[in-house]
Structure 1
Amino acid sequence: MEALKKELKERIINVLNLEDITVDDIQDTDALFGDGLGLDSIDALELIVLLDKEYGIKLADPKQGKEIFQSIETMAQYIAQNRTKL
């Protein structure tokens, strides 16, 4: 699970072009939106695409995203349970 969390952090930084942020800056339980990492709705769309392309997970309901994208921890747990690509 730790490897998945690190991989997720790296992919989020790359996909969202977060140039001033390193893997070490993102804590597993930090909020991704709002006061935490400060992502917005456009970033959420990018994360949905990332889940589909990298892990084979398609989100049909946008409300799922709110639960899944709370933190690196919640994303990693969801991916571990639902991924179709390794």
Structure 2
Amino acid sequence: MSELKNKIKLLIINSLDLEDMTIADIEDDQPLFIDGLGLDSIDALELGLAIKKEFNVKIDANSEQTKAHFASVDALAEFIESNRS
């Protein structure tokens, strides 16, 4: 699963143009939004599209659970693992 987490981190960095960050700068359990990595709702949309394209998983933007799936790299990895088609 750590390979998947590294792919997610790289996807975050590349899709959101976080050029000054490296994989090592993002903790697996670090919150991605607000206090953690500091991402916002626009970043969430871009990241959601990138994840859908890269991992071929369906993300329901209107689901209450989507917020939980985007809480951290750990949560995203778990979501992707359980929803790969």
TM-score above 0.5: yes
CA root-mean-square deviation: 1.1
Identity in percent: 49
Q: Deviations over 1:24-69 (max 9, x none)?
A: 0000000000110000000000121022111111222243321101
Give the equivalent residue in structure 2 for 1:24.
Answer: 24
Decide which moves more: 20-29 or 47-56: 47-56
Whether the 8 Å CA contact 2:69–2:76 is kept in 1: the answer is yes
CA gap 1:20/1:80 in 2 versus in 1, 3 angstroms: same
Output aligned runs, 1:35-50, within 5 Å. Answer: 35-50=35-50
Structure 1 runs not aligned, ≥5 long: none
Q: What runs of 5+ residues in structure 2 fail to find an aligned partner? A: none
TM-score, normalised via structure 2 length = 0.92
How many residue pairs get aligned? The number is: 84
